[in-house]
Amino acid sequence: MSDTIREKERQTPVAHECNICIVGGSCTGVFAAIQAARLGAKVAIIENNGCFGGSATAGLVNIWHSLYDPSGSKQIIRGLTWELIERLQKKSALTFNEHGENAGYYIFNSAELMIELDLLLTEQPGIRPFLHARFADAVVENGWVTHAIIEDKSGRRAIKADYFIDASGDGDLISRAKLPYTTNSSFQPPAACAIIYGLAEIHKKYPDFNIHDAIRNSKYTDLIKNSLLCDSELVGLPGARILTGACVHDMDCSNADQLTYSEMEGRRQIRTVCDILKENFEGGEKVSLVSLPSYISIRETRHASCQHRISERELSEGTRFPDAVANGSYRENIKKENYDGEEKSALPFYQIPFRSLVPNGSKNVITAGRLIDVDKNAYNSLCVMVNCNQTGEAAGAAATLALDSSIEIPAINTNKLRETLRKEGSIII
């Protein structure tokens, strides 16, 4: 048997022509689309799922971290994240929780967010959405990507565009376009979330009940493979909880077989957690599984190789960049002392530079979201959604500025990019 087959040559219909084509429709991709369309570009957005929002909707990950600096006194993030927060507040679909050094976080109802993203895209002229559409390949001529090839219900089709944004999380576009990327020796694990009902009874019987500690008993280790579980409220339905973090370790989710395994293993672990709760905790008999995500949340796969790789030190020290396009305050496992050894009570907020979004050698492709260029230790902090959202807005504005002057994306004037983002409502410092 041969390892490969030759497919028939075919003519691929062009489904749509636009200025900017975005691969991946999480909030990152949607915010890129909205930003570009508000600046006058004609946009297409391609999403593999049947809804927009990525991990925040299809994956059931329902927390946005603080929009303030670590002291909680100065707002550093606004833009479309803030617009969505206000829209969700009007629907009573979001709560704000005060929380120590990271100055609070928002919990939202993922289903309501899904609908708000639909509305945002529909209200804005100039955007053609493609759902249930999988980006399959890129056509490249003289270093310029000219078409994205998608597979959807209508078959294999092409979308022609002047500029492209890779917001697929996994770098599917940059990898097919042969732009440079790296992978770490081990990945942060993908994890399944779920909506479960009936934990309240357990909480009544065990006032200090914490699902992570309860399940982390060594007798369950083989069953749930060192998962980092936590639970949060399901906004709008008291009594139901979002369970986050049935981790599947040592998986590369840019590999199709490992992704398939991760989906099934994540679900098995969720069932197992419910069984453990039912069988071992007083009150647990009421626990029932209400809903599973339509896709497992993927933490990490490819990273674009860009002119600048953001380091743990830059996050820790809050390095300021002249081409900064986003600010962040969420830190996970980042050193509290500065690099001279002095312990800090509140670390400064950090920044994401434009240079970490543009793959080396790219002419008309920019990245946004978790695939931007970040080192291993900085990644867990940087990949949170409030940061990804801002990189989406920045990528949409950058591609539009390149379009306006008919230049390559790396050649845009970053002062003008920052000014544009500021005018559009982002906080650019």
* Residue 81 near residue 394, CB atoms below 8 Å: no
Applying CB under 6 A, among 54, 79, 284, 328 the residue interacting with ligand FAD is 54
Contact window for ligand FAD (CB under 6 A) among 162-170, 179-187, 201-209, 346-354: 162-170
Answer yes or no whether residue 61 interacts with ligand FAD by CB under 6 A.
yes
Closest CA to 36 of 395, 415, 425: 395
Measured at the CA of 267, the angle between CA 303 and CA 54, to 5 degrees, comes to 40
- Choice from 47, 265, 314, 393 touching ligand FAD (CB under 6 A): 47
Encoded tokens for 411: 């050649």
Query: Positive or negative CA dihedral for 319, 331, 293, 27?
Result: negative
CB of 352 to ligand FAD, least distance (A): 13
How many whole angstroms separate alpha carbon 407 and alpha carbon 87? 36
Minimum distance of ligand FAD from residue 394's CB (angstroms): 13
Phi, psi at residue 99, to the nearest 5°?
A: -155, 105
Binding mask 184-213 for ligand FAD (x = CB under 6 A): ------xx----------------------
Contact letters (x/-) for ligand FAD, 272-311, by CB under 6 A?
-------------------------xxx------------
**Interacting span for ligand FAD (CB under 6 A) from 47-55, 138-146, 219-227, 251-259:** 47-55
From 20, 22, 45, 48, residue interacting with ligand FAD (rule: CB under 6 A) = 48
Report the alpha-carbon distance of residue 20 to residue 409 in Å, rounded.
12
Cα of first residue to Cα of last residue in the chain, in angstroms, is 60
Q: Rounded to the nearest whole angstrom, what is the least distance from the CB of residue 55 to ligand FAD in the complex?
A: 4
Residue 24 found at the interface with ligand FAD (CB under 6 A): yes
Residue 118 tokens read as: 């639909």
Closest to 324 in 3D by CA, of 274, 236, 398 = 398
Question: Which of 245, 318, 328, 396 touches ligand FAD (CB under 6 A)?
Answer: 245
Instruction: Please tell me what DSSP assigns to residue 226.
Output: S
Comparing CB distances to ligand FAD, the nearer of 28 and 110 is 28
Which residue, 335, 364, 352, is CA-closest to 421?
A: 352
- Non-local (6+) Cβ contacts of 185 within 8 A are none
Q: Residue from 49, 301, 364, 381 that binds ligand FAD (CB under 6 A)?
A: 49
Among 331, 370, 378, 409, binds ligand FAD (CB under 6 A): 370
Alpha-carbon distances, residue 308 vs 29, 334, 359 (angstroms):
22, 19, 9
Q: Which stretch binds ligand FAD (CB under 6 A): 217-225, 334-342, 384-392, 400-408?
A: 384-392
- Exactly one of 159, 383, 395, 409 binds ligand FAD (CB under 6 A); that residue is 383
Residue nearest to ligand FAD according to CB distances in the complex = 369
CB 287 within 8 A of CB 277: yes
Residues in binding contact with ligand FAD, number by CB under 6 A = 35
Dist CA 52 CA 130 (whole Å)? 10
Closest-CA residue to 390 (of 329, 325, 320, 332): 325
Per CB under 6 A, does 244 bind ligand FAD? yes
Stretch that binds ligand FAD, among 48-56, 216-224, 252-260, 272-280 (CB under 6 A): 48-56
User: Does 328 sit near ligand FAD (CB under 6 A)?
Assistant: no
Q: Determine the distance from the C-alpha atom of residue 427 to the mean position of all C-alpha atoms in its chain, rounded to a whole number.
A: 20
108 lies in the site for ligand FAD, by CB under 6 A: no
Question: How many CB atoms sit inside 10 A of residue 282's CB?
Answer: 10
Q: Smaller CB distance to ligand FAD: residue 64 or 163?
A: 64
**Shortest distance in whole angstroms from residue 343 CB to ligand FAD:** 27
**Burial tier of 384 (Cβ tally within 10 Å: 0-12, 13-18, 19+):** buried
Q: Which of 106, 135, 163, 349 binds ligand FAD (CB under 6 A)?
A: 135
- Please report whether residue 384 would count as binding ligand FAD according to CB under 6 A: yes
Tell me which residues touch ligand FAD (CB under 6 A): 23-26, 28, 46-49, 54-55, 61, 63-65, 134-135, 167-170, 172, 190-191, 244-245, 297-299, 369-370, 383-385, 388
